[in-house]
Amino acid sequence: MGPSFVLRLLYALFIVIVVYNPICSGFSSPLKAASRCRIRQRNNEDEGRIRCDSMREETMESSPPRTSQSHEPQSRISTSQSTYVATEPKRAYSWLDRLHQLQDYKETHGDTCVPKRFPSNPSLGNWVIKQRVQYRKFLSNETPCSMTEEKVAILNQIGFCWDGTANALKSRLQDQEDKWWSRLEEFRNLRASNPKKLPASMDRWLTQQRWLMQQRAECAAVDEIKLEALNAIDPNWWMSARELQWEERYQELLAYKKEYGDCCVPINYAKNKKLGTWVSNCRKQYKLRKDGEKSNMTKARIDKLDGIGFIWDRWEHEFEQKVKLGDSF
């Protein structure tokens, strides 16, 4: 190799060092920059996530959990309730919402016996039933069971009614009472609009009341309040349609006696033919009773007619009157 070859080789190396190295540096620097950007971005994201988590924790510590339906003041949460919130924070506030609704019900109605079909809040009635079911599971150690000692303590504090059977019986009795007084008001309105005639349905109801009062009178268990309420509307409510008709004719007989001085109404009495027929029928029914045959003449009716001097045998009465008249001459 001559000196010229060595010089050319050195020149070539110089060219490579001077020209090629900056080009390689130019290509490598953007890659390094991109890598540095990605690392910086990850660091920023991690820092932001940590910051958000920290803020969330600070928010949860500064304000207690709330539900969209809960607007109850913090003072309503007792010590037992606070214990429950601490043990089950996720479920506590939805359960306490129902509890506060139950407390409102008790303040209004005086107890915790919410009916199953409570009109203003049906879901509260279902919730109360669920608590009883879960309580039975809790006592018998059945699983799954959502009732806990904390919940039992909370419900006992407000006087929760655990016996659903007694509650159902009370509800049915209350429904019956409400229906009875509603029916009584209907009876009052019907008597005011038409004193002499009632619909068949009301006649049946009054018949039922007469039977019940009679049964209770035999065992000295008459409901005096209901009896007075019925008597205030109509003193003769206990009479059937036939009994009312009989009483009406009796009053007409009293008017006849006041005018003529006796109860001897002719069968063809022009002013009131129905009264003459009724008097004749009373005598007929009295004779049937005396002969031991079927009759609608009761002892009470006999006593009532005897009390006003009713003549049971007209012909005998007229004969006696003629005899007395003859003796007077």
Cβ atoms of 94 and 67 within 8 Å: the answer is: yes
Model confidence at 60: pLDDT above 70: no
Report the percent of the chain where pLDDT is more than 90.
40
**217 lies in a domain?**
yes
Q: How many helices (H) and strands (E) does the chain have?
A: 13, 0
Residue with more model confidence, 187 or 55: 187
Task: Give the pLDDT band (50/70/90) at residue 167.
Answer: low
102 and 154: one domain?
yes
Each residue of 249-267: b (16+ CB within 10 Å) or e? bbebbeebbeeeeebbbee
In a domain, 67, yes or no: no
Task: Give pLDDT, residue 248.
Answer: 92
Q: pLDDT exceeding 70 applies to what percent of the chain? A: 68
Same domain, 199 and 218: yes
Which residues span the domain enclosing 33? 19-55
Mean of the pLDDT values across residues 121-128? 90
Is the same domain home to 261 and 294?
Answer: yes
- 295 and 253 both lie in a single domain: yes
Q: Which of 162, 187, 207 is the last residue of a domain?
A: 162
Q: Is the pLDDT of residue 247 over 50?
A: yes
Please indicate, yes or no, whether residues 270 and 311 belong to a single structural domain of this protein: yes
Structural domain tally of the chain?
4
Q: Is 62 domain-assigned?
A: no
**DSSP characters for 246-275?**
HHHHHHHHHHHHHHHSS----TT-SS-HHH
Tell me: do 227 and 293 sit in the same domain. no
Is residue 257 in a domain?
yes
Structure tokens at 243: 């009994």
Residue 157 shares a structural domain with residue 210: no
The answer to the question of residue 30 being in a domain is: yes
Q: By C-alpha distance, which of 159, 177, 181, 170 is closest to 110?
A: 159
Instruction: Select from 99, 134, 162 the last residue of a domain.
Output: 162
Q: Please tell me whether residues 183 and 154 are part of one structural domain.
A: no
Q: Is the pLDDT of residue 231 over 60?
A: yes
Residues 99 and 157 in one domain: yes
The reply to whether 276 falls in a domain is yes
| pLDDT value of position 14 | 67
Q: Say if residue 222 is in the same domain as residue 268.
A: no
pLDDT of res. 329: 45
The yes-or-no verdict on residue 10 having pLDDT over 60 is yes
pLDDT on residue 117: 82
Residue 106 pLDDT > 70:
yes
pLDDT at 222 over 80: no
> What was the pLDDT predicted at 16?
58
Q: Which two tokens stand for residue 292?
A: 């031991």
**Rounded CA gap, 286 and 289, in Å?**
5
* Residue 33 within any structural domain of the chain: yes
Answer with the one of 162, 183, 208 that is the final residue of a domain.
162
**Is pLDDT of 67 > 90?**
no
Same-domain pairing of 144 and 194: no
Q: Are 127 and 154 in contact (CB under 8 A)?
A: no
* Residue at 83 is within a domain: yes
Residues 223 and 249 in one domain: no
